[in-house]
A and B are shown apart, each in its own frame.
Chain A
């Protein structure tokens, strides 16, 4: 079989470098936390409430995470999935390796600038509704690598984050607590998005 275009790695390098530089230039401000769920109950649409509740209940118990174990936090994530802590109790048993089948991006570990475009692409490929959990200090803020030349100082510079789970690494109990918080958030999700009051 003949390959039409010869493999020129310098062109690939340039393309990759340009993508990372563009992302760094675009990632100066952190995404604000999605906090619409904190609104008062009274503001919710009364007519849709029952339907909404059932749909949100269904979404809550079928959150499928996409596997993004970037560093050592991934082992706590694996431990939380294994039989001792067993987060399949919450309907999360299937780790999806395809972003198109996942609802939750579980970012566990240090995010480097070289990985950031790939992470952003995975986020963009996930179907709505989607949520993001930042697990561990490195993911949240860069942690002890914050002053480094290669580490992203905060996941919220790249994607909006729903739940932050601090710890280095957080224990599986901490991770499960984070899931509980996410479930609370999913339960308060609205089918009809209202304009902000301000």
Chain B
């Protein structure tokens, strides 16, 4: 079984290097400011040997978006969760982690497509599932459709 690293311990390690980056921590997760995300991710990737990004998820809490990064070390069999907030709703921008984990490429595009969060530094920031010209981002809580399926209700 993969060992869950303790959030406060990892937060402490990060805090020694980047004193302003941490906003909090709980049992399994570390909360960081979105501006410092890339530096923190690079730091813990190297110091904790986190060579695998399981998934990136975006959550719409209406007041803010939260991004959840599940990180695992296949070598040492431990994992940690990194979370960051994004308060902006009109044009949310978060640093991309494609330069650290190639697997982030399609997942960040999926989040951009369905949640409308842009990733700064992504090599190919465009929609992945929906077509070019689709209006809005359908997984947002405030997304509504005038007509089901975009067609005429019969």
- Chain A residues close to B by CB (< 8 Å): 10, 13-14, 16-18, 20-21, 24, 27-30, 113-114, 141-142, 146-154, 157
Contacts and interface: CB of A to CB of B under 8 A. Distances in A.
Given A10-B126, A30-B154, A154-B154, A148 B149 contact: yes
Contacts of A28: 151-152
A32 B27 CA distance: 60
A29 B154 CA distance: 9
A24 B134 CA distance: 11
Nearest to A145: B149
B145 to A, nearest CB: 6
A151 B130 CA distance: 11
Nearest to A114: B131
A147 B145 contact: yes
Interface of B: 126-127, 129-134, 138, 143, 145, 148-154
Given A10-B126, A147-B148, 6 more contacts: A142-B148, A149-B150, A150-B129, A151-B149, A153-B152, A153-B153
Nearest to B133: A17
Q: Is the interface of A mostly helix, strand, loop or mixed?
A: loop
A18 B134 CA distance: 10
A16 B149 contact: no
Contacts of B130: 114, 149-150
A27 B143 CA distance: 23
Most chain A beta carbons < 10 A, residue from B130, B132, B148, B149? B149
Contacts of B134: 17, 149
B98 to A, nearest CB: 17
Given A20-B131, A113-B131, A149 B151 contact: no
A146 B148 contact: yes
14 contacts: A16-B131, A17-B131, A29-B152, A30-B152, A30-B154, A113-B131, A113-B150, A146-B149, A147-B145, A148-B149, A149-B138, A150-B129, A153-B151, A157-B152
Given A10-B126, A153-B153, A17 B148 contact: no
A16 B148 contact: no
A113 B133 contact: no
Task: Pick the 4 closest A-B CB pairs, nearest first.
Answer: A17-B132, A17-B133, A153-B149, A13-B132
Contacts of A153: 148-149, 151-154
B133 A152 contact: no
A150 B127 CA distance: 14
Contacts of B145: 147, 149
